[in-house]
Amino acid sequence: MTDADLPPPVWVDTASGLAALAANLASQSVIAVDTESNSLHAYREQVCLIQFSTPNTDYLLDPLALSNLSPLAPIFANPSIEKVFHAAEYDLICLKRDFGWQLCNLFDTMIAVRTLGWAQNGLAFVLESQFGVKLNKRHQRANWAARPLAADQLAYARLDTHFLIPLREKLAAELNTAGRWAEAHEEFERLTHVNGRSGPPPFNPQNFWHISGARDLSPREAAILRELYLYREHTAQRFNRPPFKVFSEATLLAIAKTQPRALDDLKSISGMTSGQIGRHGANILQAVARGQKAPPPHQPRIEHEDEEVLERYETLRRWRKERARERGVESDVIVPRDVLWEIARRAPQTHAELEQISGFGPTRREKYGREIIEALKERP
């Protein structure tokens, strides 16, 4: 099946269209949702398209054409409407960041597939195996902020949600048959509480220390790297480009180590093309000169986990790996990594103490709680 076999989606870019969409969604018990953003094409990414599907209609909502999407907030917060996503976490972070929405009642088809132990969990594979639908993956890297969107982009976008509701029905039946429904539902619920922050994170000049190899530089080289990092950030913001598309981190590090003094010195640096030298060469040399005169920056402390915490985590990780092997699933299906770290830090000795672990719900406690407590007690 292709997009040509389906009725055309409803394009929504007016206040009246949004009102009609919200009214229809509010009358549903289940809706499918997906988003498209422009992370590869803008300094600050934003949600550029929101796809909705009901059992009868597909909608493509243009958030760039509408200044107020508040009519949709109650839809996402309504516990009586199940929202079906595939790999929801990134979408939820983006929706919370851009619109402040909090989601309630999630069904994530990727989590369901992983809980069932399917060999592959990408949407393209799942749709092709279950419905004979082929997605064109090249559109994942498209600039979704560009208008008008091409016809094949619109087709790709609507297929991302059109089959999610029937897929949800198939997966729910399999989860119930396998006795995994409660486990999957618990993970759905956990995911609704990791929605990120409202608004984009502020720029932190100290983040240049996160560049691989930055902590191995001399104090003078580190000062130069900081100036280069600031220049890249300001340039990316000015031209509305992702910082990595101005210069790669490896190129910044190489410039800091080389400390070029003339434009010709830049030609030997990996990643510096003639076009980049023409556009940025003089500013790079100025940044290097500023760094050579600037006070050396102080490395921030790295907070290390306590040795006993690391030992407990390793014990739990080995237990989780073996449990996952027995079940034929990936390890974090048994217990998510962040939850496993929290267990290692708090070292619970009783079921009552396990109840205090955020994200470790009653189904996992019932299934794995005793094993976890015993594993921690038996640790050498």
Q: What is the CATH code for 307-378?
A: 1.10.150.80
Give the per-residue pLDDT at 324. 97
Give the per-residue pLDDT at 200. 76
User: 341-362, pLDDT tens digit by residue?
Assistant: 999 999 999 999 999 999 999 9
List the single range of 7-16, 124-133, 134-143 with lowest mean pLDDT: 134-143
Q: Provide the percentage of residues in the chain whose pLDDT is more than 70.
A: 97
User: 216-275, pLDDT tens digit by residue?
Assistant: 999 999 999 999 999 999 999 999 999 999 999 999 999 999 999 999 999 999 999 999
Q: Where in the chain is the domain with CATH 1.10.150.80?
A: 205-293, 307-378
The mean pLDDT of 30-39, rounded to a whole number, is 97
Give the per-residue pLDDT at 84. 98
Q: What tokens appear for 115 in the block?
A: 């809980």
Domain 3-191: CATH architecture, name and number where available: 2-Layer Sandwich (3.30)
> Is the pLDDT at 126 greater than 80, yes or no?
yes
DSSP-derived secondary structure letter, 216: G
Give the per-residue pLDDT at 218. 97
The mean pLDDT of 321-330, rounded to a whole number, is 97
> Is the pLDDT at 380 greater than 80, yes or no?
no
Does residue 281 contact residue 266 with C-beta atoms inside 8 Å? yes
Sheet with 30-37: list strands edge to edge: 10-12, 58-61, 47-53, 30-37, 82-85, 106-108
Give the per-residue pLDDT at 274. 95
The mean pLDDT of 86-115, rounded to a whole number, is 96
Q: Provide the percentage of residues in the chain whose pLDDT is more than 90.
A: 91
Q: What tokens appear for 206 in the block?
A: 């100290």
Give the per-residue pLDDT at 194. 77
The string of DSSP letters for 297-334 reads: PPPPPPPPPPHHHHHHHHHHHHHHHHHHHHHTS-HHHH
User: 195-216, pLDDT tens digit by residue?
Assistant: 667 677 889 999 999 999 999 9
Domain 205-293: CATH architecture, name and number where available: Orthogonal Bundle (1.10)
CA distance 260 to 85: 50
Give the per-residue pLDDT at 379. 65
Give the per-residue pLDDT at 2. 62
CA distance 371 to 172: 28
CA distance 38 to 57: 25
More confident residue, 379 or 37: 37
How would residue 3 be classed by pLDDT, with cut points 50, 70 and 90? low
DSSP-derived secondary structure letter, 295: P
> Is the pLDDT at 149 greater than 90, yes or no?
yes
Distance of CA 366 to the CA centre of its chain: 30
User: 270-301, pLDDT tens digit by residue?
Assistant: 999 999 999 999 999 999 999 999 999 999 98
